[in-house]
């Protein structure tokens, strides 16, 4: 018989928690220690090694991809398949091929997400301004480095940046790329880390280079006069606000409003939109316009089409006869993403520490970092020239006695003794002796040696110049400025985003096309709702309900009013009556839990309507307390559909009363007592979860059963139960009043 695996009893499992892969120390670990040991390393890794760009303007994924392409010789060579690049990048970036390829797509010229793209692409790489235009698979596209990458990798082999081991220590990779221009300001960058984010807009390359030059001349210069505003790859028109722009330049935070660029074609009576904000897509714009047309808020457009082709983006809007295109565009700017805001959050890593810096602060950090790169390059050149000069000093020593050097080499019996004999014979060191010994026979002539030694004076002058550069920061800045001018001259492009300083924002009145007419609302005990017009009620007034269901509330309303639906889980659902279909008395109506997408086991306890969110809502609880909540506290600017914590949950609610003016309310307890109070005793509270104050003093084991407006009850003598102050114990119900029956929740 096959051997059976013994079952582990619950007793054994409790004694040996390692069955589940957990140690007893882990199970008993405080949550603070778990966060510190497990979560914090992950959070720091995302911040430092993934989501936030560094001073060179790249995230690690960008840097690894570009450096891999550089090592593959794609800066000067031809294109290769994108799949090949993705595979090679995995040696530095241990992620899936799709993630690496997406990084390449965003850096490509074809995708049009950057002002200065770094990947020269061939094939379908999608479009940044299109949500549905997907890029082709990596096996179908080709790529190489764009020419501007010459400035990204310039002098990388001269110790300008540090190199570290890759993830498996099989090769080296740079920690930063020695960009000769402030790429951190040129390339747009968006990243979401743990607990922080980065949102950097792009600026025009020429303007950035000139601004960096001006900053190095005077740190307090007016940057806005040189670099007035951001520039976006998708163009559009930037609505210029100097105060907001100054805030972005100084603090690194703020909002920049951009709207689409459009033109009107009178002959065809259409509006053509050719440039859109960087933060949206053509599909999102068309979807929103279609929604507005369907809802009746936009009546001037007969058709909206996406006519984007190889020539570029174009959205065409067919207008109805007599439409004012300027007024229509003002309305569309207000209601659609044709005008959008770019929220700036210039969060970058400086020496591994996230910092939110303005444009001026970024230029300060970039200048300091770039100066160090130049100094490291100068030191590298200085070291090489010193080594060469040292060798030439040794060569000069044998200039007057070449024959002696030949004699020493020829008469030395052992090869290993050649260098020591030359060192002794001419008073030179081992490096110089090795250099002389390696001279080819054809070069052992006076002319060759004289020509080589003439370089000594040139090298000495060059070395003196390099030392002077290291000693004078102003000369370093001058070198950086010259490089920036060269970048501007070679790669500079005109602005794509126009700057609009003189613009008007007329208040656009949006017509509400929702028809308004009186209706009667019926709500059943089980949560069915019916909206019936007066004309329909006159034809048939007998209401139909499901078996076992009955009417809970009936009230007059208007089609434009909002509906407030309260549930037993302290939620309030907001719904427009206009969205409910008009029905007949013979219909069962709409089931509110389905229409409003209730939680499981959630049921309706009260329904009311409001036109302008005025008045109050009286809520009474089992413990005898009553709360008066302002209806305005349920009004929200975001038009949220569901409000949680709509009323207090400290005691079950037994009655809801809609209050427009001060009235008298009768409270009934479970032990047969009643008290009538005036609503003036309770002041309206703006807090929805308030439990109010004690209204009825309850006896032991008694609770509040229900409440209703006194005039709506069957009480014979209301004065008998009227309280002079609250809380009040009330009086026992008279025999003639005990037949009163009030519907409870």
Provide the annotated active-site residues.
140
Dist. CA 660–CA 656, nearest whole Å: 13
The continuous run of DSSP H or E covering 678 comes out as strand 673-678
Cα–Cα distances (Å) from 564 to 488, 526, 544, 604, in that order, read 61, 16, 23, 11
| Nearest residue to 343 via CA among 246, 258, 228 | 258
Strand pairing partners for 608? Answer: 564
Note whether 143 and 78 are within 8 A (CB): no
Cα–Cα distances (Å) from 282 to 341, 405, 615, in that order, read 16, 79, 44
Give me the long-range contacts of 546-554 (CB less than 8 A, separation at least 24): 546/588, 549/524, 549/525, 550/524, 550/525, 551/522, 551/523, 551/524, 551/525, 552/523, 552/524, 552/525, 552/743, 553/521, 553/522, 553/523, 553/606, 553/607, 554/520, 554/521, 554/522, 554/523
Residue that the structure tokens 């090592």 belong to: 71
Q: What does the DSSP 8-state code read for residue 710?
A: G
Dist. CA 377–CA 394, nearest whole Å: 26
Dist. CA 625–CA 697, nearest whole Å: 9
Give me the long-range contacts of 37-43 (CB less than 8 A, separation at least 24): 42/194, 43/193, 43/194, 43/195
The continuous run of DSSP H or E covering 186 comes out as helix 183-186
Strand pairing partners for 316? Answer: 272, 305
Dist. CA 421–CA 434, nearest whole Å: 11
**In 98-181, where do the E strands start and end?**
119-122, 142-145, 163-165, 172-174
Spell out the residues 6+ positions from residue 302 whose beta carbon is closer than 8 angstroms to its own.
318, 319, 320
- Tokens for 240? 């210029």
| Nearest residue to 100 via CA among 90, 91, 109 | 90
Residue that the structure tokens 């709360």 belong to: 627
Note whether 419 and 433 are within 8 A (CB): yes
Instruction: Please compute Rg for the chain using Cα positions.
Output: 40
5: left (phi over 0), alpha (psi -120 to 50) or beta: beta
Q: In the chain, count of helices (H) and strands (E)?
A: 23, 33
Strand pairing partners for 643? Answer: 572
Cα–Cα distances (Å) from 700 to 41, 74, 672, 674, in that order, read 57, 87, 13, 15
CA–chain centroid gap for 710, Å, is 55
């Amino acid at each position: 018989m096959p051997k059976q695996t013994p079952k582990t009893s619950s007793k054994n499992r409790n004694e040996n928690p390692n069955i589940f892969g957990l140690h007893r120390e882990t199970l008993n670990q405080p949550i603070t220690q778990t966060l510190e040991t497990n979560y914090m390393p992950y959070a720091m890794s995302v911040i430092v090694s993934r989501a936030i760009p560094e001073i060179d303007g790249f995230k690690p994924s960008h840097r690894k991809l570009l450096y891999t392409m550089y090592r593959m010789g794609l800066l000067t060579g031809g294109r290769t398949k994108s799949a090949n690049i993705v595979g090679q990048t995995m040696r530095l970036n241990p992620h899936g091929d799709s993630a690496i390829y997406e990084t390449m797509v965003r850096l490509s010229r074809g995708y049009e997400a950057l002002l200065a793209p770094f990947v020269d692409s061939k094939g379908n790489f999608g479009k940044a301004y299109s949500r549905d235009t997907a890029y082709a698979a990596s096996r179908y596209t080709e790529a190489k480095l764009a020419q501007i990458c010459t400035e990204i990798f310039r002098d990388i082999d001269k110790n300008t940046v540090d190199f570290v081991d890759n993830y498996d220590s099989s090769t080296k990779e740079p920690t930063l790329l020695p960009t000769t221009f402030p790429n951190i300001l040129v390339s747009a960058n968006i990243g979401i880390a743990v607990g922080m984010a980065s949102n950097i807009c792009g600026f025009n390359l020429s303007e950035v280079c000139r601004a960096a030059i001006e900053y190095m001349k005077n740190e307090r210069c007016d940057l806005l006069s040189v670099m007035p505003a951001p520039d976006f790859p998708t163009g559009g028109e930037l609505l210029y606000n100097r105060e907001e722009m100054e805030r972005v330049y100084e603090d690194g935070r703020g909002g920049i409003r951009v709207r689409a660029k459009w033109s009107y074609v009178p002959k065809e009576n259409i509006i053509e939109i050719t440039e859109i904000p960087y933060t949206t897509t053509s599909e999102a714009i068309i979807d929103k316009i279609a929604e507005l047309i369907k809802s009746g808020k936009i009546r001037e457009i007969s058709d909206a089409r996406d006519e984007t082709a190889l020539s570029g983006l174009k959205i065409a809007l067919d207008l109805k006869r007599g439409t004012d295109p300027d007024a229509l565009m003002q309305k569309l700017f207000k209601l659609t993403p044709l005008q959008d805001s770019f929220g700036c959050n210039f969060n970058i890593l400086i020496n591994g520490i996230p910092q939110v810096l303005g444009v001026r602060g970024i230029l300060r950090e970039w200048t300091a970092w770039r100066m160090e790169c130049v100094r490291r390059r100068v030191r590298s050149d200085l070291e090489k020239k010193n080594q060469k000069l040292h060798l030439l000093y040794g060569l000069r020593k044998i200039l007057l006695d070449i024959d002696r050097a030949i004699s020493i080499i020829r008469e030395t019996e052992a090869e290993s003794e050649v260098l020591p004999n030359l060192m002794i014979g001419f008073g030179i060191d081992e490096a110089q002796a090795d250099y002389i010994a390696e001279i080819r026979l054809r070069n052992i002539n006076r002319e060759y040696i004289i020509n080589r030694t003439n370089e000594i004076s040139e090298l000495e002058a060059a070395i003196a110049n390099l030392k002077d550069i290291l000693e004078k920061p102003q000369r370093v800045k001058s070198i950086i400025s010259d490089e920036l001018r060269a970048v501007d001259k070679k790669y500079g492009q005109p602005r794509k985003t126009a700057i609009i300083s003189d613009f008007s924002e007329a208040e656009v009145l949006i017509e509400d096309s929702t028809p308004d007419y009186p209706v009667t609302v019926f709500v059943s005990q089980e949560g069915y709702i019916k909206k019936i017009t007066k004309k329909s009620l006159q034809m048939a007034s007998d209401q139909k309900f499901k078996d076992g269901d009955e009417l809970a509330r009936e009230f007059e309303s208007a089609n434009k009013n909002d509906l407030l639906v309260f549930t037993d889980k302290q939620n309030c659902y907001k719904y427009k009556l206009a969205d409910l279909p008009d029905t007949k008395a013979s219909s069962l109506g709409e089931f509110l839990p389905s229409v409003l997408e209730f939680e499981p086991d959630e049921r309706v306890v009260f329904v009311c309507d409001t036109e302008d969110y005025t008045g109050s809502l009286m809520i009474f609880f089992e413990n005898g307390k009553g709360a008066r909540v302002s209806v305005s506290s349920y009004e929200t600017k975001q038009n949220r559909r569901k409000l949680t914590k709509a009323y207090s949950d400290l005691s079950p609610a037994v009655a809801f009363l809609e209050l427009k003016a001060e009235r008298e309310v009768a409270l009934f307890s479970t032990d047969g007592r009643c008290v009538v109070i005036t609503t003036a005793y309770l002041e309206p509270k703006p807090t929805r979860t308030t439990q109010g104050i004690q209204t009825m003093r309850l006896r032991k084991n008694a609770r509040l059963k229900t409440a209703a407006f006194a005039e709506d009850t069957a009480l014979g003598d209301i004065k008998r139960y009227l309280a002079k102050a609250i809380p009040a114990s009330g009086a026992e119900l008279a025999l003639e009043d005990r037949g009163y029956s009030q519907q409870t929740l």
